Structure 1
Amino acid sequence: MASTRRNAAWEYFGEELKRRREDAGLTQAELGHRVFVSGGYIGQFEQAFRKPQLDVAQRIDDVLQTGGFFERTWRKLIREQGFASYFEHVADLERLATKICDFEPAIVPGLLQTTAYARALMRTGNPLATDEFLEEKVRFRSDRGLILKDATRPLYWTVMHESVLRVVVGNPAVMADQLDHITRMVREHKILVQVVPFSAGSYPFMGKMVKLLEFEDAPPTVYTEGVRSGTLLDDPAVVKHVREDYDLLRAVGLPPEASLALIESAAEDYRRCASTT
């Protein structure tokens, strides 16, 4: 129900954008040119297929002279979204993507996290938060992963460093369940997974989280994350370079079957450890 209300609110945002753009006598292409996005993006904002970033909403206010209406509406809707402000737009793009390529150097990618793993991870980063606050955050993260179970799911390819398998989040039982979940997703042909082993030494994106997203009717984009911050990159030259580096990363990773064997072996190690404690 909350999701339906949010979608309706974004539809209102789009309807107001279309009305005020037309009142100003501007086409989608003309408004897009003035706020530094394509006319196609303006059309997607108006149809609530895609949500603008804050700086775009602010530029729309400036061009259409709306007195900050779109910035205020954006901020209100983002507060209701349930994700950190720097990630909210990315969560929407994941739902629109036809292909997602993740790389994680230290933790299981969010789309693959089990509830217990996500809860343990979030508790570590929020030791004084209430249980209610954490459970809401865990629910939002779990809901993201549903796109990989849908019939129209995107092609999902993730590369993880071996440290993801070896660093204990929560306890051995949590880790065993998490790695079993990844194994099941692979066995059900829902995802592709490669592991970069310790023996590979240095590798592209060393220590950096990277997400590449491709779409049916929009240019590809790249998301990378820092400390409580994230950056979306859509410059074609930058995206092309990142995709080439991702290809190099795949080359140093273990083949899929060997990666799966390593994940299963680590899961079994955790199960044995859990049974003795």
Structure 2
Amino acid sequence: MSSKIAVVTGANKGIGFAIVRGLCKRFEGIVYLTSRNEKRGAEAVAALQKEGLNPNYHQLDITDPKSLTVFRDYVKTKYGNIDILVNNAAIAFKSNAPDPVAVQAEETLRVNYFSVVSTCEILFPLLRNGARVVNISSSCGHLSCIPSEKLRQRFQDPNLSIPELSDLMRQYVEAAKQGTQAAAWGNSSYVVSKVGLTALTKIQQRLLNDKDIKVNAVHPGYVDTDMTSHKGPLSIDEGAQAPLFLALDAADSVKGEYVWCDKRIVSWSGSKPTENY
């Protein structure tokens, strides 16, 4: 029951896979690669084993509360606690996707925001004092990506609760269904989902301050993955560097922050930093 445990969601490929690789090399504990699809998860574990690394595997679909509960009970029974949780699982529709805006809005926020909320609700009770949570956000998660000043002020409210934030996310989905979202929210459901995730990070930290648990959001960079249609200039291992920094190396004073791909703490509400690759 005393083993240290790290968990990475959506880790069978891309940045999540590289984060598992980095944790296996440096984390003094057991690393769980999780994925929705067991076959792909097993293939990812086998690939890392060929590199001499030894992650453990467990199926985990963050959109399914039953899957989350099964995983929680497994970890609780076998180990008792979690020391590192990397919320990496996410989706993004392609720019030329034929799906209606309303469908894209509902599905993107279901996976990228609401499922992360439920993941945290179910797994956070297992976080050990001193644990670290890394929420994989994006440059799209910068507050400046939301056009409406009124909405930006709402997201920054220091007393904003998770239920209130979730209501905001539902308001966006409803606006997308009505076709009225563009002026206030912009035209990207992915942007809204990642702004929501970054806002969630700040609320979570506020709620966990008394438990010495660090929760941070990170923009990993523009990475060569399926999600970016392999247009990103960074390798997945380069994209894993900032998340690994927060999971393993950042000072304990780094909490509730929005961290850029070069490991800088940046202002979420100020000017959006440039990306230099």
Same fold (TM over 0.5): no
TM-score, normalization: structure 1? 0.32
* Structure number having the greater helix percentage: 1
